Chain A
Amino acid sequence: MIESLSITNFRCFKHIEVAGLKRINLVVGENSSGKSAFLESLFVSSGSLAPQSVFQIRGIRKMGGQIVLPLDAQGYRGLWEDIFFNFQSDKPVSIKIIGTNSDGRSLKIQFVEASGTAELPFEKQLPTNISNRVEQSFGMPQIEFTWKRVNHSPIVAKPRLTSTGMQIDAQVDFFPCVWFTPGVSETTDENAKRFSELDKRGESKIVLTTLAKEFPFIKDLSIDYHAGSPMVFAQLDGKPRKMPIPLISDGVNRLMGICLGIANFTKGMVLIDQIEDGFHHKLLPSIWNSIYSLAKEFDVQLFISTHSAECLSAILPILKANVSDFALLRMIRQEESCEIKCLSGHYLETALEQDFEVR
């Protein structure tokens, strides 16, 4: 579990240090204060999906998911520059994480210059009038991700862009981590896979119990095929035929995805951006209760962002009973750089009781 971290030269953060993190960390702040960038920093430092996530985030931010392969160094550098603070790609990104029992890990992202006749970091789809591309790769920038973990050898990855996607020459599974972004549900395939894994371990009942607590009309869950794809189906009360979960409700689908994420990322980290998305306000206290219980049971650390006052108020009962397991991360947009203030669960408890604006 992460206890503290520092982020340097990443997205909107020039340099921040955060300590006092807990099992449940609520991330709040105004628009453009760095909430998503903070969650992203946790995600990219967790493993080899980091390079892809840089591009996935463009899709999430509605910048378009497609990448046009660059033809020159400037175009290539431009593909990655936005992950650096103020686009300052001459300095490395550094994310350092200290976990419990001194289990630390770090990620460094930087441009390095290729030497000799190194291959171009992207597929050579060159116009015929451009030649000597290999020779031109002298001085060609190459993005490099370096992960380090205490008592492990460093892993260096230089992702290559091809017309079939991104190729990474290293496998890094440092730390189990999943990120739920607003308005984007996990794919039905992914949920089916996670449910199946859980079922094999004999632990799928907990997902059914959690869903049925919020939605009592759900009586059973199973994996079945719909239009040729595996997905989780539910047996509904009084209905003769099972129904795919996504067809029942967005809220049911999202809660199931979160439950499966927590249960499948044991001793890992689950990031939930805008948790209130898709849930009726009446369900929020009970959903908080379920999410907290699952996080405890599967030893998962949660980072959850919200803009909703109702959502924060709904956490009060579970917070009061387990105040030392909670922290409030308040993102603040300053003139030069975004900053983070980590406040204790006691602070959050008092603020909610005093009806004080913390978002």
Chain B
Amino acid sequence: MKCDEKETKQHRPFEPESPYVVICEGFHELGLVCALLKHLDIENCDVTYPKKVDGGNGKDAIGNVIQLLVGRMPSVVKGVLVVTDADDNPDKAFKEIKEKFCAPFPKPTSSFVIQKTNRYRSGVFLTPGNGKKGALEHLLLEAANEASPTSLNCIETLRNCTNTTLEWKSNKVAKMKLACYIATHCENDPCCSPAFIWTSKNRLFDPGSSVFSELANVLRNFVSDDGAANNA
């Protein structure tokens, strides 16, 4: 879909119209990528994420979306960038996604690098960023920390006080903290989904923040007309 606020909320079957497609792991990542594309004035790029009527979705179904794009060939699509979580093992996460790429899209050689051939290009961005374990929520918490460090300290105090999340895994703790941050900073909708924190009414974070510059640079390179190979 094109990154328009109204369209982000609208339901319609995904049909690529632009030469570049970003496949996000989920709807929350889609919100961030759309916000960055808009901030960067990038218009030649569509964004989607795997959906399933029943059964699983997310990372496991990213390969399905790539297959669907290949099945539509010939089409306008010339490049695919996957944005997904690094989780506990970034190398493993990259290898799993790499195997899902198939011709005519080149297999990426490493994450955060746009692999370019004469006609097609591919890439993988692992959140929160290069050399880091974690997920989208960790990246968003970095932005939260930049915007309001005291809030995160308070949330950490809450965590210790409630004593219920001390055994939780890192990704779950990050989700909990982000939910607390949104609930205490988003007056328009304290329950709002991380996908919608970028809307004009909510606007929790600045997409121009240096926290997002790594992803912004990869997006810029992904859609650039420079034709250069293997540069990030």
Distance (Å) between the CB of A344 and the closest chain B CB? 9
A352 to B68, CA, bound (A): 10
Asked if B176 is an interface residue, CB under 8 A from chain A, the answer is no
Q: Which residue in A334, A351, A353, A359 is a CB contact (below 8 Å) of B71? A: A351
Most buried by B among A316, A352, A357: A357
- Is B74's CB under 8 angstroms from A350's CB? no
Neighbouring B residues of A354 by C-beta, 8 Å: 14, 50-52, 61, 64-65, 68
Most buried by B among A334, A341, A351: A351
Distance (Å) between the CB of A164 and the closest chain B CB? 48
- Is A355's CB under 8 angstroms from B68's CB? no
Contact with A along B52-89 (1 / 0, CB 8 A): 11110000010011011001101000000000000000
Asked if B13 is an interface residue, CB under 8 A from chain A, the answer is yes
- Closest-by-CB residue of B relative to A348 is B71
Interface residues of B in 1-47 (CB under 8 A from A): 11, 13-15
Q: Which residue in A332, A334, A350, A357 is a CB contact (below 8 Å) of B13? A: A357
Distance (Å) between the CB of B99 and the closest chain A CB? 17
**Chain B count of residues within 8 A CB distance of the other chain:** 18
Interface residues of A in 314-359 (CB under 8 A from B): 316, 330, 332, 334, 341, 343, 347, 350-359
Asked if A309 is an interface residue, CB under 8 A from chain B, the answer is yes
16 of the cross-chain contacts (CB-CB < 8 Å) are: A309-B13, A330-B71, A332-B74, A347-B71, A353-B52, A353-B54, A353-B55, A354-B51, A354-B52, A354-B61, A354-B68, A355-B14, A355-B51, A355-B53, A356-B13, A356-B68
Most buried by B among A332, A341, A355, A356: A356
Q: How many A-B residue pairs have CB under 8 A?
A: 46
Neighbouring B residues of A359 by C-beta, 8 Å: 13
Top-10 shortest CB links A-B: A357-B15, A357-B13, A356-B68, A353-B52, A350-B64, A355-B51, A353-B53, A355-B13, A356-B14, A347-B71
- Closest-by-CB residue of A relative to B54 is A353
Most buried by A among B13, B61, B68: B13
Distance (Å) between the CB of A269 and the closest chain B CB? 25
Having A353-B55, A356-B68, A358-B13, one finds 5 other A-B pairs with CB under 8 Å, namely: A334-B74, A343-B71, A352-B53, A354-B51, A355-B11
- Is B13's CB under 8 angstroms from A347's CB? no
A309 to B11, CA, bound (A): 12
Neighbouring B residues of A358 by C-beta, 8 Å: 13
A354 to B14, CA, bound (A): 8
Q: Is the interface of A mostly helix, strand, loop or mixed?
A: mixed
Distance (Å) between the CB of B82 and the closest chain A CB? 15
Neighbouring A residues of B52 by C-beta, 8 Å: 353-354
- Closest-by-CB residue of A relative to B11 is A355
- Is A341's CB under 8 angstroms from B65's CB? no
Distance (Å) between the CB of B69 and the closest chain A CB? 9
- Is B74's CB under 8 angstroms from A347's CB? no
Q: Which of B's residues lie within 8 Å of A, judged by CB?
A: 11, 13-15, 50-55, 61, 64-65, 67-68, 71-72, 74
Distance (Å) between the CB of A333 and the closest chain B CB? 11
- Is A350's CB under 8 angstroms from B53's CB? no
A353 to B54, CA, bound (A): 8
Distance (Å) between the CB of B111 and the closest chain A CB? 24
- Closest-by-CB residue of A relative to B68 is A356
Interface residues of A in 4-42 (CB under 8 A from B): none
Most buried by B among A332, A352, A354: A354
A309 to B55, CA, bound (A): 21
- Is A357's CB under 8 angstroms from B64's CB? no
- Is A341's CB under 8 angstroms from B15's CB? no
Neighbouring B residues of A316 by C-beta, 8 Å: 53
Distance (Å) between the CB of B14 and the closest chain A CB? 5
- Is A350's CB under 8 angstroms from B14's CB? no
- Closest-by-CB residue of B relative to A313 is B53
A60 to B55, CA, bound (A): 43
Neighbouring A residues of B14 by C-beta, 8 Å: 354-357
Given A356-B14, A357-B13, A357-B15, check contact A351 B68 (CB 8 Å).
yes
Neighbouring A residues of B50 by C-beta, 8 Å: 354
- Closest-by-CB residue of A relative to B65 is A354
Neighbouring B residues of A330 by C-beta, 8 Å: 71-72
A358 to B50, CA, bound (A): 15
Distance (Å) between the CB of A256 and the closest chain B CB? 31
Distance (Å) between the CB of B3 and the closest chain A CB? 17
Distance (Å) between the CB of B12 and the closest chain A CB? 8
A332 to B55, CA, bound (A): 31
Most buried by A among B50, B55, B65, B68: B68
Given A347-B67, A347-B68, check contact A353 B13 (CB 8 Å).
no
Neighbouring A residues of B65 by C-beta, 8 Å: 354, 356
Distance (Å) between the CB of B211 and the closest chain A CB? 31
- Closest-by-CB residue of A relative to B15 is A357
A330 to B73, CA, bound (A): 10
Neighbouring A residues of B67 by C-beta, 8 Å: 347, 350
Neighbouring B residues of A353 by C-beta, 8 Å: 51-55, 64
